[in-house]
Amino acid sequence: MKKNNFTMSEADLLRRRKGGLRRNHSTNEAEETVREEEKERALQPDKPYHKPQDSLLSSASGWTNYRGVMNLCVLLLFMSNIRLVLENFLKYGILIDPMKIFNMFVGVNDPYSWPNLSLICICNLFCLASYFVEKLLSKDMISESKGAFLHFIIVITCLVFPAVVIFQKRPNPIGAAITLGFYSILVLKLISYAMVNKWCRKKQHDNRKQLHRRRRTRIKSEGGIWMANGKLETNGTSFVEYPDNLHMKDLYYFIVAPTLSYELNFPRSERIRKRFLIRRIVEMVFLIQIMIGLIQQWIVPTVANAMKPFGEMDLSRMVERIMKLALPNHFVWLLFFYWFFHSCLNVLAEVLRFADREFYRDWWNSESIGYFWQNWNIPVHKWANRHVYRPMLEKGFSRTQGQIVVFLISAFFHEYLVSVPLQMFKLWAFMGMMMQIPLAIVVARVNKLSPVYANLLVWMSLIVGQPVAIMMYVHDYVVQNALEASSVA
């Protein structure tokens, strides 16, 4: 039976080879026949000029060079935006005033009370508090549990203290949002600073145990002649080891560095590239002016004109206002992304010679909601993955539970950065983040049918979702202030 099976498999293999040879032979014969027909047609007296071929726009043609069509789309987009800009100038005049943004942030109405700038200066106290707690822990002057409790108090105070000051002083919401952005970044950095130093202490403690075991064995075997110096071997490397990293210069380098995840030895570039740095600084100055101009000239009037339809709940007018706001809002959002994640963070990285420049990935190609959130803000993604998601997996939690916790933390900070400056808690930002969950399910199903349509859905959620949230918050903010003014009167 084995011999028969072997013989049958050989026969099948021979048949397949012969079949392949026949197909190749028939293909070659067909090509030769076509070439002979073309030669015969070329010799005809009517001078034939046609040949079988597909239209360029057909998928069977294999044509992929649509550069001219893309240029046309860019030109049409530019012309339509220029028309909108001219219409805006003719309707509202010139509304651009950069000093208004400065006044909103520092609060020039009361030159002796600048709550936003004062709060940013007070950030140093939380940095120093975290630093001294780490110093005490490195010298075993307090236990790990007490150190964790002190870090917890520092982090909670860092979140609550600026919110309380903002509620009491009531500064401009824009300046308050920027200030809370600084404090949110500081909170994430301090958490990373405490956790990484804790990992280093644990590793150092384990190494000391191993070294103590080796020393006892060596002393017993050699009669107590060998003496250990108590230092770990560095093998000639220049890496900083714990607790040598616990000094102010190291801490403030991390506070200023364009990352949220602490390390004892950051990758460093060899030199500062002056031309690269100058280009990024020019981009920073130029783009911030463009964003301020677009906000004052285009977004503010559009939002102001939308208050009446939203107050009357006129659905058709509300949709029209949202669509009108979508274009300038998304344009400003894209400019902000480039300004912050490319220009600003690269300036910081270049000045500090910080070599890890992966601040974003190709989020614009997102075919799922998860891919977008994982790639558009890499510093936050790395922090969440390193300090929340992976530790939860190590403690036995599931991937889904880890993702939910990370998502809830992100939703909290989105709401924190909006509700506190506006001094009202409507949870629109939080609910907007929660709506990402069913949207992610829908986009995942669409992605199975067509990745192109899934990418379009991701873009549509970004273009339409933000204007809706802006309109809801501004409407509630105006209504709340109007009620407060009427009650005071």
First vs last C-alpha separation in the chain: 104
Who's near 51: CB < 8 A, 6+ residues apart?
Answer: 38
Sign, CA dihedral 132-133-135-136, equals positive
Give the C-alpha distances (Å, rounded to integers) separating 233 from 138, 213, 226, 390, 433.
Answer: 20, 16, 16, 30, 49
* Closest CA relative to residue 448, chosen from 394, 367, 388, 369: 367
Residue matched to tokens 């293999």: 13
Identity (one letter) of the amino acid at 67?
A: R
CA distance 333 to 469: 14
Cα–Cα dist 125/433, whole Å: 32
Contact 440, 369 (CB under 8 A): yes
Whose tokens are 């300036």? That residue is 347
By the 8 A CB rule, do 95 and 301 touch? yes
Establish whether the linkage from the previous residue to 258 is cis, with ω within 30° of 0. no
Counting Cβ atoms within 10 Å, is residue 147 exposed (0-12), middle (13-18) or buried (19+)? buried
| Helix (H/G/I), strand (E/B), else coil: 34 | helix
Query: CA 224 → CA 208, 219, 289, distances in Å?
Result: 19, 4, 73
Catalytic position from the list 205, 330, 414, 475: 414
Task: Kindly state the tokens that stand for 424.
Answer: 């009202």
DSSP 344: I
CA dist 368 and 455 (Å) reads 7
Q: Assess whether 414 carries a catalytic annotation.
A: yes
- Residues 131 and 123: their CA atoms lie apart, in Å, by 13
C-alpha 408/C-alpha 55 separation (Å) is: 52
Question: How many C-beta atoms surround the C-beta of residue 418 within 10 A?
Answer: 23
> Which residues are the active-site residues?
414
